[in-house]
Structure 1
């Protein structure tokens, strides 16, 4: 299992690959692996600079987020290989291919008619293009609109535009309902989102931070990256966190690093934090908390369910 440093975590976001542990549990939004192409799908199709003359039937996905998107829109049966961190859904064809250090020869050996990547590491796009292998980049999302756009574009490329539109609509509707049902508070609850026991975190400027903002929470880490030098992922000291006294601590390191309410309480000075005293240390699924696919709805629901227990 990986331990996250700021460099590792930033790189991980870029390639959508924080699968730090066992496969995540399935939720009510578990995607369907198969599905017929949309009746409206016709080829050739063009997304950005990529044109496909026919529906891809041998897709290699080197991004866990993209893998989740592809299965959610009914293109799962077209995915013939996924990277070594694509652990959801369970039927995803996980392989030894790496999204961190993609190898053109190993990818080409899968004879794909489409490769989906989240980062152009080692100029892999040029390498695959030289081999006449179509490549589609799905960079790390910074907003929910990025997620919706990527799902839509993958739907177009794979012949599932209608299914993709349905997924986007369902996500928007679910999120709108969750936000509409938020209790009205005179003061925002504060939180600390933990990426690892080294106390790296994410500010409101990041994708994960935007999800917490939807839940109406205030991020204690925002002042630490006011100048933007840490790219939205500062490392806080124990003293800063204890002084900020967050109402909630959300742990996105329960799988990778076995962190829990008990390990947090045992840290020097943390027993007096409101989150600890009121049993408001919330363990998250590492995978769901680090990807930007359809399961962001599950993440938002977990956050809102936890905070809703606090009287308005």
Structure 2
């Protein structure tokens, strides 16, 4: 049996509600949803303008690089960090990681001659400032604390890089797999889970990692405590008090369950660990979410059958009907000032996003 996922996105313009001339301008803007120039304000509050689609992109973290890859824009990328080494074609890109292996080399970034730099929210202020002072266009991404944030981040990167339609497909693939995990584990007993990152740091409930744990049928045991930050450093006593039933371990920390205080928890005593590839567990990006949620679900609930969706099983059909003038439209005159106001009021590039929010996407899954 094969599962196919079809995403139908309907972008509808209601001509009866607006004059004929304005309707034409609105329809044209929606069709050019990924047009340039494009002006936007980033997470740092800085407004940037891209006059044309960027041909040379440098990413300062692996999740941004992975997202561009998934959108089909890997050929546009000229600079990456060393932690993006798992991506196909990495060796052909320039590393912008500092020579000591930590942080970003401003000189190397400038040397890639980028049209656009994608910087994570956690970027050092002085690094971003130095790049902007060098005349580089930098877009600083917002932090991703939820799975919805990952979706929004994917959509925004797609808009910046000129891959809006691909974002619809990528997000549909990610969301379909998350929903498959949620559906499969809706009525099962949820184990208490802890993700120790190392040196006492753990993932709190207000992180995208915790959101993946919850979607996969687990419960983040740190929810029993009152930590506010995303990745607090906790004491051995807190870990023993939390006493998780399952330890979520990244591939570089395998064997953690044999070390104290984890060895004395229920998870450690039962050798109950779920090991996830570090590249996918720690990076808020589409492929990471899909693969991590799949592996967590299978690890937390090995006896539960889940119908996950392959990327090749997702198709996107976009329809943009041409507005039809009504008798009322024809009889009412449209002044040039009205047409201009509507055209300039429409924000270039957000046609697809606005249509998705206003009209919605219909996802039909069926088995054959």
Determine the structure 2 residue equivalent to 1:91: 89
- Counterpart-to-counterpart distance in 2, 1:241 and 1:136: 38
Residue 175 of structure 2, aligned match among 172, 176, 179: 172
Cα distance, 1:279–1:183 mapped onto 2, change above 3 Å? farther
Label 1:233 to 1:268 Cα distance change in 2 as closer, same or farther (>3 A).
Answer: closer
CA displacement 1:6-63 (0-9 Å, x = unmatched): xxxxxxxxxxxxxxxxxxxxxxxxxxxxxxxx99643212333222111111111111
Where in structure 2 are the equivalents of 1:231-242 lying within 5 Å? 231-242=229-240
Aligned to 2:246: 248
Aligned equivalents of 1:125 and 1:268: distance in 2? 39
The answer to whether the 8 A contact 1:67-1:88 is kept is: no
Whole-angstrom distance in 1 between the partners of 2:77 and 2:261: 47
Q: CA deviation at 1:139?
A: 3.3
Answer 1 or 2: higher relative contact order, Cα 8 Å, separation at least 6. Answer: 2
Distance apart, 1:292 and its partner CA: 0.2
Correspondence for 2:218: 217
Deviation for aligned residue 1:210: 1.7
Distance 2:227 2:258 in 1: 31
With over 3 angstroms needed to count, the CA separation of the structure-2 counterparts of 1:178 and 1:268, relative to structure 1, is closer
For structure 1, the residue ranges without an aligned partner over 5 or more in a row are 1-37
Once residues 71 and 199 of structure 1 are traced to their aligned partners in structure 2, the CA distance between those partners, rounded to angstroms, is 33
Return the alpha-carbon distance in structure 1 between the equivalents of residues 157 and 262 of structure 2: 47
TM-score (norm 2): 0.65
Q: Secondary structure at the match of 2:84?
A: coil
Distance 1:125 1:266 in 2: 39
The match for 2:209 is 208
* Cα distance, 1:239 vs structure 2: 4.1
Greater Rg by CA: 2
Q: Which one of the candidate residues 35, 39, 51 is aligned to 1:42?
A: 35
Matched, 1:290 2:288: no
1:1-312 correspondence to structure 2 within 5 Å: 41-48=34-41, 49-92=47-90, 93=93, 95-98=95-98, 101-118=103-120, 119-185=122-188, 188-196=190-198, 198-224=199-225, 226-228=226-228, 231-252=229-250, 254-255=251-252, 257=253, 259-260=254-255, 264-265=257-258, 267=260, 270=263, 273-294=265-286, 295-309=288-302
Displacement after TM superposition at 1:246 (Å): 1.8
Alignment check: 8 A CA contact 1:221 1:236 kept? no
Which whole-Å deviations, capped at 9, do the CAs of 1:180-200 have from their partners, x for residues lacking one?
111513x5321111112x332
Instruction: Indicate the RMSD between aligned Cα atoms, in angstroms.
Output: 2.6
